[in-house]
Structure formats: C-alpha cells, structure tokens
A = this chain, B = another copy of it.
Amino acid sequence: MKPIQVALIGLGTVGCGVYQTLHIHKQRLEIQLGAPVELTTVVIENPDKHMKIAEKTTISTDISDILYNPEIDVVFEAINGKEPAFTYLKQCIQAGKHVVTANKEMFAAHGRELKELAQKNEVQIGYDATTAGGIPIIQTISQLFRANQIQQVQAILNGTSNYILTQMRDHQLPFSTALKQAQKWGYAEADPTNDIEGYDAFYKLMILSDLIFDRQPDQKNIRHSGITGITDEAIEKAQQDGKRIKHIASIKYDETGNLTAEIEPIAVPKEHPLYAVEGVDNAIHLKADIVGDITLTGPGAGAFPTASAMVEDLCLILSKQSAPIPVS
C-alpha cells in the first residue's frame, strides 16, 4: 500500500511530541489507516537546533520543500504566533494538502478564513489541538453534536492558571510563589503573560465560539481578566464559603439575543461542574438543548496530549477519505 506522506512544521515541545508519537505508534497507525505513515519533511527555523531525526526525513528551512512536493498528503503545524504559521497554512491548503494545527493564537484570529479556504480547496483542516490540549473537544462538538444546539459553554481552558490556583489553595501560597513553582515544574513559561493574564483562554474560547455559534462575540461584550489579581486571602475566603476560585471562560446567548463571553476568576460552589477540576487539567462543560449537560475533563497541555489530538485529527481526516460507500 502506498505510504501516507506527512510533513511537520516546527520541532518545539509539540512538534517533538508529534514526531515521537508517529515513530512510537508507527505499527498501530499503519493497521488503523491501512498504509504506513511516513514523515517526509520537517521545516524548522534553525536546522542546527533540532533533535536527532530519522535519516529518511528531509530537514529544511524552506516551506517550498513541503509546498512543491506533491507526495505530501498532510501537514502538521506546531509553531507559535500568527506568522509565519498563517501564511504557511494558507499555502499548504492552496497546494491541496490537508493541514493539522495546534496554533491557538493564529487559529483564533484566522481560523474562519482557513476553514473557508480548506472547503474551497476540498481539503480538511484539523485543529483539535488548539483548544484544551488532549481533550477531543473540537471533534466532539463537530462530529457528535450535530442534532444538538449548544447553548452555553463554561470551561477551564488554561492549565497554568488552574495549577497556580490549586497550589495557592492547597499550600496557602501567595500568587508569586505559586507562579515560581509552576515555572520550576515547566507548567508556566519564563514569560507567563499569555497564561496568567487570560489571553490563552481567550484564544481558545474564540475558537470554540466560531465552531459552536459560527461567529465570535463583539470584543466589547467580552469581560476579560486573568488570575494576577487573586490574593491568597481571596482564596482562603472562598474556601471558608465552601467554594473554589477557578479561572472560567464562558460563552452564551444572553436574554437579548447577543453572544456574550466572560473570561475571569470566579468562586464556584461544590455543585459547579468545574469545582473538582484541579491542577493542570482542563475541562469543558457544555449545555446542549437535547442532551442537557455534558462535561469533558483531561490534560490541557503537554507534548503527548497535544500530539495525541493532532494524530487523532490525522486519523479522522484520512478515515473520511475512505468512508463506506452509500448503500441505499
């Protein structure tokens, strides 16, 4: 059987996770997909700074090595920031390749355009890894909530913030100490602004909004804050009231028919579906009009959970190409 040829853009934490997952589970993927998956080309910024890669794989700094290779079927993109990711993905789609991305900042801004471009070019776009790490929330909503209309989402979308809040409560730590611990354990970056100021959760919520409501709310309707203002006293006070402070991203139609979103720390009671979500976990609580309330909980970040989402996207994209023939 002709191999499935894939390419990878970026070899940071997530890119390495994808590389290793394709390598470790090579045999299983071949059985699942009916053909071996071969990593043909890796495009990175600095070719001196990469891990050891199998000899058969081309290492390049030039996206043309992917674009002009007609054998490449699917491109994984795992770099940070809007550019050059957006331009690269546009070019890959126009070259007739399926794409799978983990880039939330880029996809929050340009997801709609990329989805339309993919449809026009009759290729598919997988972006489950952009939101809530390994939790298959994007595919759950796209594949398994077709009859249901989702009316409200409440979610913990930033593992770093949830870890810091959990540590502050469990060990009576001030914010600054908990942040340092998160950095020490690799749960927060050297510059933690994106996480602790709520931007990361904002990107993910906008991706969910586009998917569920087919649009994003007006910026002026988004109340938006991170966890930097949370004191150990506030956490202690919440605990005395039987509550926990969680950084919650939510979106719903309000009474006047507007789409409103809020991203902010909230003291939630024991009965709240996100009360028990602890540490670096993420969770998404969906309110849908037929089924009712469904919650998904799982790892919100990390090389392998994110790679899992990307490789599952690959499997789903390829399975759609070989769907059973209609019988009736």
- Scan A290-328; emit 1 where CB is below 8 A from any B CB, else 0: 111111111100101101110110111001111111111
A297 and B315 contact, CB distance less than 8 A: no
Measured between beta carbons, the chain B residues less than 8 angstroms from A323 are 320-321, 323
Residue of B with least CB distance to A322: B326
Q: Is A266 close to B, CB under 8 A? A: no
A293 & B304 in contact (Cβ 8 Å cutoff): no
Contacts of A144 in B (CB 8 A): 136, 139-140, 143, 312, 316
**Given contacts A273-B297, A290-B311, A304-B290, is CB(A25)–CB(B324) below 8 Å?**
no
Most B CB contacts (10 A, CB to CB) among A149, A298, A315 go to A298
A304–B148 alpha-carbon span in the complex (Å): 11
| Interface membership of A124, Cβ < 8 A | yes
A61-76 contact mask (Cβ, 8 Å, vs B): 1 or 0: 0000000000001000
Task: Give the nearest-CB partner of A304 in chain B.
Answer: B290
On whether the beta carbons of B290 and A299 are closer than 8 Å, the reply is no
A290 to B320, CA, bound (A): 22
CA of A307 to CA of B124, assembled, Å: 30
Size band of the interface chain A makes with B: 35 or more
CA distance A123 to B328 in the complex (A): 9
Which chain B residues lie closer than 8 Å to A143 at the CB level?
139, 143-144, 316
Please determine whether B134 and A292 come into contact, CB atoms closer than 8 angstroms.
Answer: yes
- Residues of chain B within 8 A (CB-CB) of A135 are 294
Q: Which residue of B lies closest to A327 (CB)?
A: B122
- 1/0 per residue, CB under 8 A from B, across A113-136: the answer is 000000001111000000000111
**Inter-chain contact B292/A299, CB cutoff 8 Å:** yes
Chain A residues with CB under 8 Å of chain B are 21, 25, 28-29, 32, 73, 96-98, 121-124, 134-136, 139-140, 143-149, 271, 273, 275-276, 278, 288, 290-299, 302, 304-305, 307-309, 311-312, 314-316, 319-328
Instruction: Enumerate 30 A-B pairs (CB-CB under 8 Å) in ascending A order.
Output: A21-B290, A25-B290, A28-B147, A121-B327, A123-B328, A134-B290, A134-B294, A135-B294, A136-B144, A136-B145, A136-B294, A144-B312, A146-B315, A146-B319, A147-B308, A147-B314, A147-B315, A148-B308, A148-B312, A276-B276, A291-B298, A291-B299, A291-B304, A291-B305, A291-B309, A292-B304, A292-B308, A295-B295, A295-B298, A322-B326
15 other A-B residue contacts (CB within 8 Å) besides A96-B328, A135-B294: A96-B327, A97-B328, A123-B328, A136-B294, A140-B144, A144-B312, A146-B315, A290-B307, A291-B304, A291-B309, A292-B304, A292-B308, A293-B298, A293-B299, A320-B323
